[in-house]
């Protein structure tokens, strides 16, 4: 799934990210931003083992789809070009 025009705190940046998701939860969250004909700047994915590890360590009940969502968001934060990170003023809270 490709998503573009990611927005944070009212600041919009036009960047396309390919998200290799396993659960529909992420598709539902990104429904407004789907873009099938866009060329992604980068791709993010999370393994089932990563989801299970995060789920076990997060300290609260969490489904695998929720764990995938958190981890994909973290991957996007980690891969975001520095110029966009600065424009968005990403906080530690963003990168869960």
In a domain, 94, yes or no: no
**43-66 pLDDT, tens digit each:** 899 999 999 999 999 888 899 999
In a domain, 37, yes or no: yes
Look at the chain and report how many structural domains it folds into: 1
In a domain, 55, yes or no: yes
Percent of the chain residues past pLDDT 70, beyond the cut:
70
- If you compute the radius of gyration of the chain from its CA atoms, what whole number of angstroms results? 13
In a domain, 16, yes or no: yes
In a domain, 65, yes or no: yes
**23-37 pLDDT, tens digit each:** 888 888 878 778 777
Predicted TM-score (pTM) above 0.75: no
Range of 33's domain?
Answer: 2-88
The answer to whether 34 and 1 have CB atoms below 8 angstroms apart is yes
The answer to whether 25 and 69 have CB atoms below 8 angstroms apart is yes
Q: Is 81 helix (H, G, I), strand (E, B) or coil?
A: coil
């Amino acid at each position: 799934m490709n998503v573009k025009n990611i927005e944070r705190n009212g600041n919009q940046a036009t960047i396309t990210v390919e998200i290799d998701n396993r659960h529909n939860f992420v598709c539902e969250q990104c429904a407004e931003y789907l873009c099938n004909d866009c060329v992604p700047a980068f791709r993010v994915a999370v393994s089932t083992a990563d989801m299970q590890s995060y789920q076990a360590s997060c300290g609260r009940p969490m489904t695998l789809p929720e764990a995938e969502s958190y981890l994909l968001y973290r991957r996007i934060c980690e891969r975001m070009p520095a110029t966009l990170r600065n424009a968005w003023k990403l906080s530690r809270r963003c990168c869960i």
